[in-house]
Structure 1
Amino acid sequence: MTPTDIARVQAYLRRLLGSDRVKLVPPARKGMSVELAVGDEVIGTVHRDDEEGEVSYAVHITVLEEDLPAAPAPAGRR
């Protein structure tokens, strides 16, 4: 993704999600993924797809089990 792509997608996601805390982090090296972050926490990646002249951007969000709240205990049987 180009710097212009990154800025445009970031502006769209901020408007869509209602938060200026959303940011796209350019890759450190060419060929790596653009990271999607909220504040300082990276939550996923963004990829550009150009198929037959139609451009789209895919957002992949990863939720780690360790970041989830504890699961409730199963209800007892009656």
Structure 2
Amino acid sequence: MTSEELQKIENFLRRTFNSPTISVRMRPKKDDSAEVYVGEEFIGIVFKDEEDGDYNFNMAILDVDLED
């Protein structure tokens, strides 16, 4: 993924989730995906589908995160 793609995805996620602290960062040794953070907390990965050019955001929600 190019830096231009990362910026577009970051802008989209910030608008969608109304959160200016979301950042999208390149992954070491990977060019088909990027890491998504809120502040310094890792929350998921964005993958690029090379066949159709779409992107897929994958976020795991851990059981311990749901506890009050």
Q: Which has the higher contact order (CA 8 A, sep 6+)?
A: 2
1:12-23 mapped onto 2 (5 Å cutoff): 12-23=12-23
What secondary structure does 1:12 align onto? helix
Write out the 4+ residue segments of structure 1 that deviate beyond 4 Å after TM superposition: none
TM-score (norm 2): 0.84
Calculate the aligned-residue CA RMSD, in Å: 1.7
How far apart are 1:17 and its partner, in Å?
1.2
User: Paired residues, what number?
Assistant: 68
Paired position in structure 1 for 2:8:
8
Residue identity matched to 2:30: K
Give 5+ residue unaligned stretches, structure 1. 71-78
Deviates most, 7-16 or 25-34? 25-34
1:1-78 mapped onto 2 (5 Å cutoff): 1-31=1-31, 33-51=33-51, 54-70=52-68
Greater CA radius of gyration, 1 or 2?
Answer: 1
Give 5+ residue unaligned stretches, structure 2. none
Residue identity matched to 2:48: R
> Partners in 1 of 2:46 and 2:59 — Cα distance?
9
What secondary structure does 2:54 align onto? strand
How far apart are 1:7 and its partner, in Å?
0.6
